[in-house]
Amino acid sequence: MDTDNDRVPSIIHCDMDAFFASVEQLKNPELRGKPVIVGGKPHSRGVVSTCSYEARKYGVRSAMPLAEAYRRCPEAVFIPPDFSAYQEASDNMHKIFSEYTPLIEPISLDEAFLDVTKSLRLFGSPLVIGQKIKERIKNELGLIVSVGIAHNKFLAKLASDLSKPDGFLVVTPDQVRELLDPLDIRRIWGIGEKTAQRLYELNIKTIRDLCRLEEAYLTNLFGSCGSQLYLLARGIDRRKVENVRKAKSIGRETTFPTDISDMDDLEKCLLTLAGDVARSLRRERVKGYTVTLKIKYQDFRMITRSKTLDKPTDLEEVIFAEACFLLQKLVVKPIRLAGVSLHNLTDCDEPQLSMFEESREQKAELVKTIDRIKDKYGEKSITRARLVEPKKKPAP
């Protein structure tokens, strides 16, 4: 890459390796070298959030049902997610990123694009910056990140994906065709199983095959997405790194170990979900106008109901109250999954709806205090009385 010409974009894609599982192994060194599966109990009906590379050797993958993961790797250690720990690790990672560029586009907790084009004269070439970031994350955080470097986002992400685990790959403009040509077409953004199957039927299997097709032909097949495929097959991606990337919604959901229909149990679940969502909203410094309740019944029928508020909120009691209002309008029969989310997010500081008489300032200060306690001592350090399980009486 030409380090003397800062007009040529220099994009770094950082993607943490088996992030949730790696954080768990960092918290508990006894788990290092063992197959770790994050998601919940092995016989529950949830899915794998992520797993260590030791578990992947057995064919375990993200989004796989936990029961199937257990069948493939019964000796694995199954752990429920600890999102507060993952958020803390992600925040620390972003602090390191910010020392090299302000242009950071987070994709998820464990993944981000960095535009270091204007940082080269200060810190050196993209290769040097990428190496420094990789080394610092390992030395300071005890975690492993795969790094891809290129002149656009598509190629940078592809580079980090291809070099995993513990990878580091730089793609220069003159290496693009050599890199892309032999790859399966599913390596291109926007090509899912259905699109891939249609291309396979046309004997288009590799990116080299795709590159031989005219743009008009692809547009005729796939509409406006055809033009995107035409460009990406040639390694062309004009999207910029967006350093202010706001989530469109923030939500949480849970799959119950057994179907439930008791209203009190459902409301306790909604209270927990509302608290998690509210905390995430405050962490992102946004509020939401629209509360959405998601329910999946025993027969797998999925429904959602929403209500838009007059003013945005990040308070759990407001979110909980609206979720309960929506729940009351539904037929309560055995439910296997419940979810709560906030949409139409904004960062404006409008007055909040309050369920109580205390002033907005008092409520905001109380919420901040609770957040600080949880940040320091963990999510379970303080909770509502309604969510505290009564102690079981000893057997006579």
Quick check: is 105 catalytic?
Answer: no
Asked if residue 166 lies in contact with residue 146, where contact means CB atoms within 8 angstroms, the answer is yes
Sheet holding 77-79, edge to edge: 50-51, 36-38, 77-79
Asked if residue 156 lies in contact with residue 172, where contact means CB atoms within 8 angstroms, the answer is no
CA distance 363 to 17: 39
Token look-up 């005890």 returns 142
Q: What is the DSSP string of 136-185?
A: HHHHHH---EEEEEESSHHHHHHHHHHH-SS-EEE--GGGHHHHHTTSBG
Spot the catalytic one: 111, 316, 317, 322: 111
What residue type is assigned to position 315 of the chain? Answer: L
Q: What is the DSSP string of 233-262?
A: HTT---PPP-S----SEEEEEEEEEEEE--
Q: Closest Cα partner for 287 from 323, 247, 326?
A: 247
Return the sign of the alpha-carbon dihedral for residues 329, 334, 339, 343.
negative
Token look-up 């992947």 returns 56
Query: 381: exposed, middle or buried (C-beta count within 10 Å: 0-12, 13-18, 19+)?
Result: exposed
| Assigned token pair, 71 | 């069948």
| Assigned token pair, 21 | 């599982």
What residue type is assigned to position 224 of the chain? Answer: S
Q: Give how far the C-alpha of residue 229 lies from the chain's centroid of Cα atoms, to the nearest Å.
A: 25
Gap between the terminal Cα atoms of the chain: 75
Q: What is the DSSP letter of 203?
A: T
| Assigned token pair, 212 | 């031989």
| Assigned token pair, 205 | 């299997």
Q: What is the DSSP letter of 274?
A: H
Cα dihedral 328→332→334→335 (10° resolution): -20
Q: Hey, which residues are catalytic here?
A: 111
